[in-house]
Amino acid sequence: MLTKTIRRVDAGPIARRARFADALAVAARASACALLVGIVSGRTANAEDTSCKAVRDSAVKQITTPTHIYITLTPGGGKPKLSESIYTGGMIYMLIHDTWSSRPLSAGDMLKQLEETAKKARKTCHHLRDESVNGEAAAVYSARSEGEDGKSDSLIWISASRGLPLKSEVDMAVGKNGTNHLSLRYEYGNVQPPAGVK
């Protein structure tokens, strides 16, 4: 797991902002790169897992590729929240409520964290169809992951030529009855840290 879940004690705007940042940090990288951590596992036992391998290979490639992710998080019954994440030079940069923050996060550490979590997750994946994203040919996969962090259902569009995810839609179970929806769009060209952020 990338970060620990913050205990739900409302200490005002600072605590709410921290919870939001924590949720995005986990969701953005775990779902964006690994299509929810259960898929990073290297196990392949049947034809279904061939699809998981395609998604896993895409996840591993993205982890080693500078990436700018545009995120829309819609809590169950709530208003959409916009954010961004940038991964480059061994750092993660998160834009939360118009403020950038940063911390070290190497590709090696990311792979290790995801693989450790994946050992305890169950996964299923399916290739659904082929279509284009902004004129780029892509394969569309569905994936379900169930683990100690909860349950999630995802769609991911993987570039046919580059093998990198182009976008994804993720539903993540929260609590007993809630669901958060994540829409993520990925860009890889000229990825730079935010201006003025160390």
pLDDT exceeds cutoff 60 at 12: no
Would you state the pLDDT for residue 120? 66
Angle between helices 13-34 and 48-63 (to 10 degrees): 120
User: What mean pLDDT comes out for the span 72-77?
Assistant: 86
pLDDT over threshold 60, residue 25: no
Q: Flag whether pLDDT at 44 surpasses 80.
A: no
Closest CA to 22 of 77, 81, 94, 107: 94
Q: Which string of DSSP letters, residue by residue, matches 46-112?
A: STHHHHHHHHHHHHHHHHTS-EEEEEEEE-TTS--EEEEEEEETTEEEEEETTEEEEEE--HHHHHH
Task: Decide which of 20 and 169 is more confident.
Answer: 169
Q: Which of 6-10, 78-82, 110-114 has the lowest mean pLDDT?
A: 6-10
Residue 36 CA to residue 168 CA, distance in Å, equals: 11
Do residues 14 and 96 make contact, with C-beta atoms less than 8 angstroms apart?
no
Q: What is the mean pLDDT of the chain?
A: 77
Q: What is the pLDDT of residues 81-93, one digit of tens each?
A: 999 999 998 899 9
> Which residues face 179 on adjacent strands?
173
Convert the pLDDT of each residue in 124-136 to its tens digit. Answer: 889 999 999 999 9
d(CA 156, CA 186) in angstroms, rounded, equals 11
> Does the structure show a pLDDT above 90 at 65?
yes
How do residues 93-150 score in pLDDT, each as one tens digit? Answer: 999 888 999 989 888 887 777 777 666 667 788 999 999 999 999 999 998 888 766 7
Encoded tokens for 2: 């990338």
Pick the CATH number of 13-187 from 1.10.3470, 2.50.20, 2.40.10, 3.40.50: 2.50.20
What's the pLDDT tens digit per position in 180-194? 899 999 999 999 999
